[in-house]
Structure 1
């Protein structure tokens, strides 16, 4: 039984199965994909809330500390994704390095991350969409703007459902079309951020930076744990591996460049925001809009809503894309029915996988309140990051796998440090979220032993 649980997948078999994908993505497509996945509403909301609650103007240092943790994880992703240019991201790496059952656990945690993540963002998109329309005097009926809760007068979150359907039809056209739309929306988002930064520079008051450490070093560290999640999303880049030209070179570049650009933007944004207004006044749902109103520039605040909508759209687009490739990989390996691992010959898209992710996201985003569930996304992400960090350590001990042109420096110290930091951040998640996560993992284990354990690896060439 132990041998079966920890049998390792064959990289040759994975690459042969993924050969049906069309290789169209360039380095610049991947950078846009990474930026689109990382930067969302967090850049317009998180700097203000974290500055108020934990770190004050020193939130810039919190972002730097969080960036260090993410860079370590990103370096691990870069080495593994260039070594294994296959679909499935962390799930596939886990199957190749640790074995079938550990890979399934990682894949199951990623399903949670992708589905809940896109559903939660779709709800946020709906809120901004309704607010923007209200600003133009257009009222959307309350019954169509919230989860199914007749007691509160809401029945369906229609904007959430509509945007997810639009994303679905965009993705089913193929990766070329969605990559072009993603690049355009990333441009809109970056333009809005640049507009705010340029305007804000003229209203910075140095006195707002004093005291710089109002809550001490502990506040800065706690702030780093909170803003860490603003960087998540770069792992979606590795999901695109089978559709990337020259993946050994372009995937590491896409991951690291997009993370570097986003880090610089977060630092500048938080510096300008805390310089425009005192951090004590930033405990609001829309701190960027508040800051503009505070300096008499409220008339352009609608631009921020457009930037936020663009940010959330690209996050949903890329998350649904990454989730569909994950479900495809699980089907490819027969851990779930094989039909999920089939590629449509016309558009080169795993249609059943895309359909399933979209339907789940629509049901959750359109009809379920996700306030108590969104923190589960963080656990799924950190579990996958930990496996990736440990995977680099184990990978270097394998002599049956060709070495990648990109290798993480200071091995094994940096991969080990990355794993330790990811585990440390898991301790910041609430006990309620951990209980819910353990239930989710228990369901996954049951599914594995009922189906995957018996069905996966029937052909001897699939595993070694």
Structure 2
């Protein structure tokens, strides 16, 4: 149970921990959060969950997911202000609980971010293909079967991953400039959706939360029913059960605020700027998601929502056909920034784990020209391409949620433990009402986890068991704290790279 000393986590023991150049101010971190949290889901998730699970109560589902995320955000903000390292929850756990738990959390983060990258890239292709179709642009016949595919080889998925992997490999500053431009554009699109949609709002569509239908035998199989539903014998949608079940799925929309913490080593005045970036970004995102949810269920009765294109069909029925193009463009732009920031976050987590010896050391090498972990970025980009192209990733989306919620629980528990074991460690932010807020975040995260399907739990446990095997075979022996060799790339006192 080796633990990383706090001084080592913040970079005092190895110059390699200062190898990432400063790139982000407070506002940049807010934009980073908006870039990863606001994707195409803002235009479709509320409609799908309203039609299939929660009815008008989907607005409450968004609030529940947002409050849960905010509780955890307070905890991440405190830990990142005390240990501003690129490993985020992985590094926090390494310091507070030890190497084994750090590996488990890091392994869960790798699953979360890598799978999320592949999922979002595939969805980007679907929206890009739909945007071209709505604009009347037809793909050449030989390519038509390889664009906008749910499964199998997809040219657009390959294109976006290759392009954004290259952008991330060129360094944080290049990606940040692109991020600012795209985030501003998609916020304009979201604003247009809210303003125009509000003119067609009908409050009668929010009248009541539909009651659960009468149970139907064999309506749901065990593996694809929520774990809590199996325990309680409740497997129907709608009602309060449906609201909470939808909240668990909606948590996927908020995933990303924790990625902001992975930029801590590259942030100016990280102990203060990172907490502000995390919390402000999450609050803005929550408000926007709830506003769009109100619009979509206010424009169309929940039982008449088109689950394939909720907002687009609602605007068509309202005679606002031009808004379809706004939604398509906003979705494509939103997904572009999500993939970009996910790649940044995953690169930093893998970089940190490799720097500690738990992953192969070459992944911790900093490129001298771009001041970026280029090797790690290219490897991650390649893995994301393989996963997105050859695995039906859209069916595995809930794994992203369960991996994230697991990391959230460890972070919240870390705040409680750190307050007891390291009370004098300097912090730029303190979680309010501790330990009550961390305890509440743990309970809320557990509640959302048990609302996920049984099959998701089985996949998650299998992934974690495989991860423990990898640690025992490789990480335990290669760890720097366990006597392994130091990272490849070091930086001397003058900031010059040396081997």
Q: TM-score, normalised by structure 2?
A: 0.87
Counting matched residue pairs gives 452
Within 1, Cα distance between the matches of 2:126 and 2:293? 23
Structure 1 residue aligned with 2:137: 137
Q: Equivalences for 1:269-418 in 2 at 5 Å?
A: 269-399=292-422, 402-418=425-441
Structure 1 residue aligned with 2:215: none
Q: Deviations over 1:287-313 (max 9, x none)?
A: 010111010011331111110001111
Question: CA 1:146 to 1:196, structure 2 compared with 1: closer, same or farther past 3 Å?
Answer: closer
Q: Deviations over 1:102-130 (max 9, x none)?
A: 00000001110111100011111111111
Is the CA contact 1:82–1:249 (under 8 Å) kept in the aligned structure 2? Answer: yes
Which has the higher mean CA deviation after the structures are superposed, 79-88 or 269-278?
269-278
Shift of 1:419: 0.9
Within 1, Cα distance between the matches of 2:55 and 2:261? 35
Shift of 1:247: 0.4
Q: Equivalences for 1:445-464 in 2 at 5 Å?
A: 445-456=468-479, 457-459=481-483
Within 2, Cα distance between the matches of 1:60 and 1:375? 20
Shift of 1:183: 1.2
Shift of 1:336: 1.5
Shift of 1:417: 1.4
Structure 2 residue aligned with 1:112: 111
Which 5+ residue runs of structure 1 have no aligned equivalent? 1-5
Q: Deviations over 1:58-111 (max 9, x none)?
A: 322221122111110000000001110011111111111100010000000111
Q: Deviations over 1:131-150 (max 9, x none)?
A: 2222323225243236797x
SS in structure 2 opposite 1:29?
Answer: helix
Matched, 1:125 2:86: no
Of 264, 267, 277 in structure 1, the residue corresponding to residue 287 of structure 2 is 264
Within 1, Cα distance between the matches of 2:442 and 2:319? 46
SS in structure 1 opposite 2:397?
Answer: coil
RMSD: 1.9
Structure 2 residue aligned with 1:96: 95
Question: CA 1:265 to 1:170, structure 2 compared with 1: closer, same or farther past 3 Å?
Answer: same
Question: CA 1:148 to 1:296, structure 2 compared with 1: closer, same or farther past 3 Å?
Answer: closer
Shift of 1:211: 2.7
Shift of 1:433: 1.7
Shift of 1:385: 0.5
Structure 1 residue aligned with 2:29: 30
Question: CA 1:98 to 1:133, structure 2 compared with 1: closer, same or farther past 3 Å?
Answer: same
Q: Deviations over 1:1-27 (max 9, x none)?
A: xxxxx1111232231431111112000
Shift of 1:400: 7.3
Within 2, Cα distance between the matches of 1:119 and 1:177? 22
Question: CA 1:52 to 1:308, structure 2 compared with 1: closer, same or farther past 3 Å?
Answer: same
Structure 2 residue aligned with 1:57: 56
Matched, 1:200 2:197: yes
Within 2, Cα distance between the matches of 1:148 and 1:410? 45
SS in structure 2 opposite 1:345?
Answer: coil
Structure 2 residue aligned with 1:209: 206
Shift of 1:441: 1.2
Within 1, Cα distance between the matches of 2:18 and 2:64? 39
Matched, 1:169 2:163: no
Of 3, 7, 31 in structure 2, the residue corresponding to residue 8 of structure 1 is 3
SS in structure 1 opposite 2:103?
Answer: helix
Which has the higher mean CA deviation after the structures are superposed, 433-442 or 11-20?
11-20
Is the CA contact 1:147–1:368 (under 8 Å) kept in the aligned structure 2? Answer: no
Q: TM-score, normalised by structure 1?
A: 0.93
Question: CA 1:190 to 1:146, structure 2 compared with 1: closer, same or farther past 3 Å?
Answer: closer
SS in structure 1 opposite 2:2?
Answer: coil
Shift of 1:461: 12
Within 2, Cα distance between the matches of 1:47 and 1:132? 20
Which 5+ residue runs of structure 2 have no aligned equivalent? 212-237, 487-499
Is the CA contact 1:320–1:358 (under 8 Å) kept in the aligned structure 2? Answer: yes
Which has the higher mean CA deviation after the structures are superposed, 400-409 or 379-388?
400-409
Q: Equivalences for 1:201-240 in 2 at 5 Å?
A: 201-212=198-209, 215-240=238-263
